[in-house]
Structure 1
Amino acid sequence: MSLFKLSKELVLLILEELEPVSLLRFCQASHLIHSVAASCTALRYRYELALCGMRDGPPSNRSPRVRLEQLLNYKRGWPTLAWSSEDRLRITPPTILGVTGRFLYQASENTLPNGLFQWTLQIYELRSFRSALADPLRHCRFNIPFDIRQVAIDPSQDLMVLAELYFPTNNSAITARLHFLNLWTCHQHHRAAQLRFQFHTDWWGALPPGQRILIQQVVICGSVVGLSVRLEVEEGEATTELVLVNWHTSGPRTRRYSGDLLSFDIINESCLVVVSHPDDEDDEDGSGESVVTTWEKRPDGLYMNERGKRPPQINVYDINDAHDPPTPRIRSYELPESWSTVSLMRISPNSSPRVNAEPTPGAFFYSDPSQRLLVISAEFPPEATPPGCSRNIALVLDESFLQPPGPGEEIVRWNQWRSRCMIFNLPDRAEGLQAVGRRLVFFENVAEPGHSTVDSSSRVHMLDLNPYAVDFLQSIVRSPSPWRWNGPWTTITTVVPRRSTRYIRTSTVEAYNITWIDATEDSIILYNECEGQTSIRILTFGPDPRTMIRSHT
Structure 2
Amino acid sequence: MSNNHGTRRFSQVVNGLLERFGSPPGQATHFPGARQTSALLALPDDILLLVLALIDPDGLLICKQVCVSLSRLVQHDVRSQYRIELAVTGMVDGPPSDVTLTERLEQLREHRARSHSGQFSRDESIWSEVDARVQVLTSDGTILYAMRRPGGYKLDVRTPSRVQAATSVGSYCLSIEAGQNSHFEAMDMAQNLLVISEATNDTWEVTVRLLDITSGEGHADAAEPIIRTMSEQGRPLLVQIHQQYVAWLVLVPASQKRNVEIWDWHTNRLVWCRTFRPQVSFTFLDTSHILVTSGRQEVMEVFYLDDPAYLVGDIIDPFLSLELPLGAFRCSVHHDERSRIHSSSPPPDAPFIPNPMLSVFAVRFAIYATDLSNALLLVPGSTFREQIQAARDSDESHHRVFWHEWGPKGGLLLNLSGPEVIPRAVFSPCGSRFPMLIRDKWRAGSAQIVIFDLNPWAARAAQSNPKSSGSLTVMKDASSFRFRTLRASIPHVAYQGPRLSFPKEHKPTYVNMNHDGFTVLHEWKPPYQERLGFGYQTFFV
1:412 and 1:336 mapped to 2: Cα distance? 11
Who is 1:265 aligned against?
A: 283
Amino acid at match of 2:453: D
Closer/same/farther in 2, CA of residues 499 and 200 from structure 1, 3 Å limit:
closer
Deviations 1:41-68 (CA, angstroms, capped at 9, x unpaired):
5532331112221123456676766654
Who is 1:180 aligned against?
A: 210
Who is 1:89 aligned against?
A: 125
Closer/same/farther in 2, CA of residues 516 and 329 from structure 1, 3 Å limit:
closer
2:414 and 2:164 mapped to 1: Cα distance? 30
Closer/same/farther in 2, CA of residues 476 and 214 from structure 1, 3 Å limit:
farther
1:129 and 1:458 mapped to 2: Cα distance? 23
Contact kept? 1:439, 1:464, Cα under 8 Å: yes
1:10 and 1:52 mapped to 2: Cα distance? 28
Who is 2:39 aligned against?
A: 2
The counterpart of 1:368, out of the listed 340, 352, 355, is: 355
1:515 and 1:373 mapped to 2: Cα distance? 21
The counterpart of 1:493, out of the listed 461, 464, 475, is: 475
Amino acid at match of 1:463: F
2:457 and 2:63 mapped to 1: Cα distance? 13
Deviations 1:206-230 (CA, angstroms, capped at 9, x unpaired):
xxxxxx8764311122333211246
1:438 and 1:151 mapped to 2: Cα distance? 26
The counterpart of 1:108, out of the listed 133, 142, 147, is: 147
Amino acid at match of 1:312: E
2:177 and 2:59 mapped to 1: Cα distance? 52
* Equivalent position SS for 1:468: helix
1:133 and 1:192 mapped to 2: Cα distance? 20
Who is 1:250 aligned against?
A: 268
Structure 1 residue 156, shift from structure 2 partner: 4.6
* Equivalent position SS for 2:462: helix
Amino acid at match of 2:510: W
1:38 and 1:249 mapped to 2: Cα distance? 47
Contact kept? 2:192, 2:214, Cα under 8 Å: yes
Q: Which moved more, 1:468-477 or 1:456-465?
A: 468-477
The counterpart of 2:248, out of the listed 227, 230, 235, is: 227
Matches within 5 A, 1:449-488: 455-474=444-463, 477-478=466-467
* Equivalent position SS for 2:84: helix
Who is 2:153 aligned against?
A: 119
Contact kept? 1:470, 1:495, Cα under 8 Å: no
Tell me the matched-pair count.
458
Contact kept? 1:477, 1:495, Cα under 8 Å: no
Matches within 5 A, 1:372-451: 372-378=359-365, 380=366, 385-387=368-370, 390-398=373-381, 399-401=384-386, 403=388, 408-418=397-407, 419-428=409-418, 429-430=421-422, 431-445=425-439
2:224 and 2:512 mapped to 1: Cα distance? 32
Give structure 2 stretches of 5+ with no counterpart.
Answer: 1-37, 480-486, 526-531
Amino acid at match of 1:144: E
Who is 2:18 aligned against?
A: none
* Equivalent position SS for 1:137: coil
Amino acid at match of 1:413: F
Who is 2:294 aligned against?
A: 276
Deviations 1:266-309 (CA, angstroms, capped at 9, x unpaired):
2233322111233xxxxxxxxxxxxxxxxxxxxxxxxxxxxxxx
Contact kept? 1:474, 1:495, Cα under 8 Å: no
2:307 and 2:162 mapped to 1: Cα distance? 36
* Equivalent position SS for 2:475: strand
Contact kept? 1:125, 1:137, Cα under 8 Å: yes
Who is 1:516 aligned against?
A: 510
Who is 1:143 aligned against?
A: 176
Who is 1:546 aligned against?
A: none
* Equivalent position SS for 2:216: coil
TM-score w.r.t. length of structure 1: 0.70
1:25 and 1:495 mapped to 2: Cα distance? 31
Closer/same/farther in 2, CA of residues 461 and 215 from structure 1, 3 Å limit:
farther
Contact kept? 1:275, 1:347, Cα under 8 Å: no
Who is 2:85 aligned against?
A: 48
* Equivalent position SS for 1:44: helix
Amino acid at match of 2:410: R
Contact kept? 1:217, 1:229, Cα under 8 Å: no
Q: Does 1:153 align with 2:199?
A: no
* Equivalent position SS for 1:25: helix
Structure 1 residue 539, shift from structure 2 partner: 1.9
Q: Does 1:198 align with 2:228?
A: yes
Closer/same/farther in 2, CA of residues 258 and 540 from structure 1, 3 Å limit:
same
* Equivalent position SS for 1:268: coil
Amino acid at match of 1:47: I
Deviations 1:343-369 (CA, angstroms, capped at 9, x unpaired):
x6333489777xxx55443x4433123
Closer/same/farther in 2, CA of residues 408 and 123 from structure 1, 3 Å limit:
farther
Closer/same/farther in 2, CA of residues 469 and 264 from structure 1, 3 Å limit:
same
Amino acid at match of 2:536: I
Amino acid at match of 2:145: Q
* Equivalent position SS for 1:151: strand
TM-score w.r.t. length of structure 2: 0.71
Structure 1 residue 264, shift from structure 2 partner: 0.7
Closer/same/farther in 2, CA of residues 473 and 90 from structure 1, 3 Å limit:
same
Deviations 1:492-537 (CA, angstroms, capped at 9, x unpaired):
6348798773322123444435343211222201223469543322
Amino acid at match of 2:111: Y
Quick check: which one's strand share is greater?
1
Closer/same/farther in 2, CA of residues 196 and 82 from structure 1, 3 Å limit:
same
1:34 and 1:178 mapped to 2: Cα distance? 56
2:399 and 2:269 mapped to 1: Cα distance? 28
Who is 1:284 aligned against?
A: none
Structure 1 residue 72, shift from structure 2 partner: 3.6
Closer/same/farther in 2, CA of residues 133 and 270 from structure 1, 3 Å limit:
closer
2:62 and 2:489 mapped to 1: Cα distance? 18
Closer/same/farther in 2, CA of residues 38 and 47 from structure 1, 3 Å limit:
same
Amino acid at match of 1:107: A
Q: Percent identity?
A: 19
Structure 1 residue 9, shift from structure 2 partner: 5.7
